[in-house]
Amino acid sequence: MRNLEGREKAIVEAYAFGAILYHFIYASGFFSWIGLTIGGIHPAISVGLIIALLFLEFPVSKKSEQHHIPWYDWVLAVSSLVPTSYYAINYEHTLYSALTPSNLEIVLGLLMFLLCLKE
């Protein structure tokens, strides 16, 4: 785990707090209480938030920078949010066209697969 300092530490801590807060709100049933049904997209949101956090918190190897997040980990963290956000935004479309994915959906699926292999 990285030993971050300064602004990067504050950003990662705020992001982690937001991810934890989202999961607590979801688990409490608050979304259902206000009439927002997100059961189908919750796994995508959860996976995207957690994988992005993993890229920010854990370096590639023990020899990597421990006090700073390199630019490529920022890119990977943001990249992990792209496929999951697409799925969450286009849930209805992907639900009904699951057997015939578009080229974009295939590329996003491969991207997510590769990102998961990295972690």
The pLDDT value recorded for residue 118 is 65
The domain spans of the chain are 6-118
In angstroms, the CA 45 to CA 94 distance is: 15
Residue 118 or residue 94, greater confidence: 94
CA 51, CA 112: separation in Å to the nearest integer? 10
The sign of the torsion formed by the CA atoms of 21, 85, 42, 116 equals negative
Q: Determine the pLDDT at residue 61.
A: 72
Amino acid symbol at 66 = Q
- Alpha-carbon distance 13 to 33, whole Å? 28
Which pLDDT score is estimated for 119?
Answer: 54
pLDDT at 111: 92
pLDDT digits (tens, 9 = 90+) for 53-99: 999 998 877 777 778 888 988 999 999 999 999 998 988 888 887 77
Q: Return the SS3 of 21.
A: helix
**pTM (2 d.p.):** 0.84
Q: Provide the pLDDT for residue 47.
A: 92
Residues 5-45: pLDDT tens digits?
Answer: 899 999 999 999 999 999 999 999 999 899 888 888 999 99
